[in-house]
Structure 1
Amino acid sequence: MSLLAAEFVLVVPVDLAQKPKWTKGPLKLVNLPGTPHEIVSDTSGRARYVPGSHVPFLLYGDTKDERRWHQSNEETFNFRSERGHDVDFVFTGRELFWIHDRTPHNALLVVHGRVNGTAEQCLRTLVELSNLDPKHGASIRSALESQLGTASLGSGVRRARLMSLVCPDDAGLPTIASNLEPEWSAKDQWLWYLATAHMPGTITVSRDSHDQVRSRSIRVTDEWSGFVASEGVSYVADRLPPAGLAQADALRQRKLRFHTIELDAFLLAEAQDVLINRIGDALFQARKGGHHSSQSVAGMSSPLAAYRLMNWGDRITERGYTNDLFLSLRSVKGIPDRLTELREDVREAITELEAQSAASRNAALGVLAILGFPFSSAFAIWAGIEDRTIEGLWTAIASAAGASLMLSLVIPGLRSIAAQAIGLKNRIR
């Protein structure tokens, strides 16, 4: 069996050191060109569907603050993967979406494409595309690295987030996991395995899994449904709309939304997820040393500022199921709950740093007082001597320094000031 359409978008966190020499703005696609209903998916075209000025700025930037770049291409890849699967796919466009200032993971790479082959081959290729493991997914990783432009892919990145779209031909959608319970329709199966980026038989599928598909599926049209998992989102049609010109128009429009406004919703949720991970990593590094340093809090400043900008609300379009997609993406990633936990952790880190800074200042003043005591005392003694000589001054300073040292060793309060100053020097670096 074959598919009428099998398309994808891969999203991967990358390090972006400099702006790419690509076209500014999101990938430009055109639907119904040359007709009164022509739709161009450039920045101005997409902004018509997105409320206000805040969200368009986050997604597309402006002339003074560039945030997104794209380049159209047509590159075909076909090879046998490290897992022994024959894959055949085409990259049709790429984008870079800037998130915040500091590396690592300060941008998202977005790669658009389509897959070729039978229904089973398309499924295998789509699942393989998410595997960037340097050993088990080396060939896919190499293909993706050819799309990086000025960005770089960190060695720790082993999976890509997968958006997939599948539409059957007149034969309908084939079953891909015949061992599942009868209540799993072919559509349910495709939605689950594509969104989780797994092949049938490679993971355990429980009754709860089917309940999730049924409860969390997003109804797009009578034919199309979407499903969100932590690994990605899938769109599957179980049948074609009525034949004729309307059928082709409906499929073109579905592809256009998939590669544009629905991708934008996916990118915002993914950006929030990356930023929360960055903030959490900075907190972990601080806690690993048993304290919060100024450097660790500084490491949080860029993602914190970016997240405050990104956390704009729960709408990406004026109406429609794309808002449901965005809310579902945030929920699956646990973004609202993780953000609540991080707020308290960040507040604690900043409070501790402020306390450390105050203690550092007080200790420094105490040390200055201890160091200054010998000199002030020496000058006072020297001034009271009628026969003032340089040798007498040095003798007075030495005597006062000895007395200061004895007091620092005997009196606990003075001894703790010096110890505190030494300790803070080691802690705040």
Structure 2
Amino acid sequence: MRLRRGSGCVIFEVRLTKPPAPWRPGPYPVRLPRRAEAADRELRLTYFESRLQEVLYGTDGAPVRWHRQFATPVPLTGACVRGVEILRMPLVRDGLGLAVLHVDLTDPGSPGASPVPALERLSRLATASTPSGTGRDALQALLPAGTQLVESSTRARTLAHVTFEDRPAPVMSAPYTGWSPVDQWLWLLASACSEERFAPDPDEPAVRSGTVVFSADWRALVLREGAAFVGMTPDREDEGFHALAEAHVHSIYLDAVLIGVMQLYALNEVANAVASTPAGRLDADALASLEHRLMNVRRRLWFSHVTVRGKGNELLRQFQDQHALPALLDNIISELSDAARLVEAVTNRGVNAALGLLTILGLPIGIAFSSAAVWGEPHPRLFLISALAAVAGAVVVVAVVRPARQMLRALLRRGPR
């Protein structure tokens, strides 16, 4: 078994304090085989719907994505970095963004070596368990000024693409003989994890539920933290079909996954905002702010149909399913609907209580002032006496009449916290 190609993308979380101005705006341009053009911003816009242009690529005057290509690939923990791109995420706070490394995973000196160990090391560079000086510093050095790597409790997301000079051969142990060689490679690459570190249940069909069939030449598997693309037919041409497939992985299919990642961050931020708002502080203004944030996410980001061409939609839907994003969106909508009913009920209760008190207390007040108008001559002292009598009558009514006390308590009650 000889690997013909092995490359991938590693997606890290970063914090942007300023735009990476020295870097060129736009996504990392991927060379297309047998074509003079590259898969740059203009070409990718012909693949994705125009409604996603702003979040994926920005506009001419306001870019949200920048890239840097290396003339000579930079070694990093057993892989070689071709280039880096930075994407500022919309609708999230604290200047959060994503850094994407485009890497070569195969070693020309060891064509039979598995790319899984290098992919696993790359995915763990920014985790809290990775000590400084073991590759994280080198990763930070690849980023532009004003972009800081964020230490994460989880591994980075990965995409991997491999092909073979002939056909894939089995690579996992005996319990997985029921899996095809392609499925074995898909699992190892999508999980970025060796069988020794984590062995999936070979009899659980859900393990491979994220499979996307492209054609007889290649297929993909999407898991929570990664995706893999494996060629199923021999790859014997430098500029053949599998070269084009590799270019698609590093461009449009990467962008489809990035859409899913941005949806994940934006929806989680709205969900956290809903959960952190105490019920006792929910009012019309707070509810309107939460609903406005959710509406922005839905209008700018929440789409499962992003293209009329290719398999980008299916890849995105598999990512959404792996992270239960449709269920998360339904939960947020349900919570906001319940909050709206609560706010409406509290508002109606307050209005009704105010109207009821006004009606009940209007009687002693009206009697006090009308009696003064009939029996006395207009005088400031008479007005003061009438006002005191009206207040005393109102206090007596509240003390004696039970419904009046209930309406006063309802008017003053602010609800549970």
TM interval, shorter chain, is: 0.7 to 0.9
Residue equivalent to 2:297? 306
Once the two structures are TM-superposed, the CA of residue 289 in structure 1 deviates from its matched residue by: 4.5
Aligned equivalent of 2:191: 196
* Match in the other structure for 1:421: 411
Alignment-mate amino acid for residue 229 of structure 2: Y
Aligned to 1:233: 227
CA displacement, residues 360-398 of structure 1 (integer Å, 9 cap, x when unaligned) = 445566677899999877655655564655455444333
Q: CA deviation at 1:38?
A: 1.8
1:26–1:68 CA contact under 8 A, matched in 2:
no
Contact kept in structure 1, 2:210 and 2:223, CA below 8 Å: no
The alpha carbon displacement at 1:261 in A equals 0.7
Task: Using the TM superposition, give the Cα deviation of residue 192 of structure 1 relative to its aligned residue in structure 2, in angstroms.
Answer: 0.3
- Report the alpha carbon displacement of residue 266 of structure 1 after superposing the two structures with TM: 1.2
Q: What letter corresponds to residue 59 of structure 1 in structure 2?
A: L
**Matched residue, 1:127:** 120
More off after superposition, 377-386 vs 351-360: 377-386
Greater shift, 226-235 or 8-17, is seen at: 8-17
Please report how far the alpha carbon of residue 126 of structure 1 lies from its aligned counterpart in structure 2 after TM superposition: 0.9
Q: Given that residues 70 and 94 in structure 1 are in contact (C-alpha distance below 8 angstroms), is that contact kept between their aligned partners in structure 2?
A: yes
2:245 corresponds to: 254
Distance in 2, matches of 1:91 and 1:388, equals 93
**Aligned equivalents of 1:152, 1:421: Cα separation in 2:** 51
Instruction: Find the counterpart in structure 2 of residue 165 from structure 1.
Output: 161
CA contact (8 A) 2:26 2:41 kept: yes
Percent of aligned pairs with the same amino acid: 21
CA distance in 2, matches of 1:343, 1:55: 23
Q: Aligned partner of 2:398: which letter?
A: S
Match of 2:211 in 1: 217
Corresponding position of 1:45 = 43
From the superposition, tell whether residues 122 and 225 of structure 1 become closer, same or farther in structure 2 (CA, over 3 Å): same
What is the CA–CA distance in structure 2 between the aligned matches of 1:197 and 1:357, rounded to whole Å?
Answer: 53
With over 3 angstroms needed to count, the CA separation of the structure-2 counterparts of 1:317 and 1:109, relative to structure 1, is: farther
Give 5+ residue unaligned stretches, structure 2.
none
Give the 3 Å change call, closer, same or farther, for CA 339–272 of structure 1 in structure 2.
same
Q: Distance in 1 between matches of 2:74 and 2:350?
A: 61
Gaps of 5+ in 1: 80-86
**Residue number in structure 2 paired with 1:82:** none
Map 1:365-404; keep pairs closer than 5 Å: 380=370, 383-384=373-374, 386=376, 390-404=380-394
Deviation string, structure 1 residues 145-203 (Cα, Å, up to 9, x no partner): 553765666666533221112344x5876755335432344433221022123221222
The residue that corresponds to 1:29 in the other structure is 30
Q: Describe the shift of the 1:158–1:328 C-alpha distance in structure 2 as closer, same or farther (beyond 3 A).
A: closer
Matches within 5 A, 1:343-382: 343-363=333-353, 380=370
In the TM superposition, residue 11 of structure 1 has moved relative to its aligned partner by: 3.1
Provide the rounded CA distance (Å) in 2 between the counterparts of 1:69 and 1:150: 14
What does the per-residue CA deviation read over 1:273-295, in whole Å, with 9 as the maximum and x for residues that have no partner? 33333343334334x75785553
Residue 284 in structure 1 maps to residue 280 in structure 2:
no
Question: Conserved in 2, the CA contact under 8 Å of 1:92 and 1:114?
Answer: no
Match of 2:59 in 1: 62
Report if aligned partners of 2:256, 2:316 keep a CA contact under 8 Å in 1: yes
In the alignment, the residues of structure 1 paired with residue 348 and residue 150 of structure 2 have an alpha-carbon distance, to the nearest angstrom, of 38
Q: 1:97 to 1:422 in 2, by over 3 A?
A: same
For 1:9, the equivalent position in structure 2 comes to 9
Structure-2 separation of matches of 1:148 and 1:368: 66
The 1:302–1:109 alpha-carbon spacing in structure 2 relative to 1, beyond 3 Å, is: farther
Paired with 1:16 and 1:203, the residues of 2 have a C-alpha distance of 34
Q: Number of residue pairs matched? A: 407
Q: Which residue of 2 aligns with 1:316?
A: 307
The CA distance in 2 between the partners of 1:374 and 1:259, in whole Å, is 80
Amino acid at match of 1:230: R
- Aligned partners of 1:347, 1:285: CA distance in 2, in Å? 16
CA RMSD of aligned residues (A): 4.1
Q: TM-score, normalised by structure 1?
A: 0.76
Partner of 2:203: 208
Partner-residue secondary structure (3-state), 1:352? helix
Q: Secondary structure at the match of 1:247?
A: coil
Q: Distance in 2 between matches of 1:236 and 1:426?
A: 55
Letter of the aligned partner of 1:195 in structure 2? Answer: A
Return the TM-score normalized by structure 2.
0.78
SS in 2 for 1:348: helix
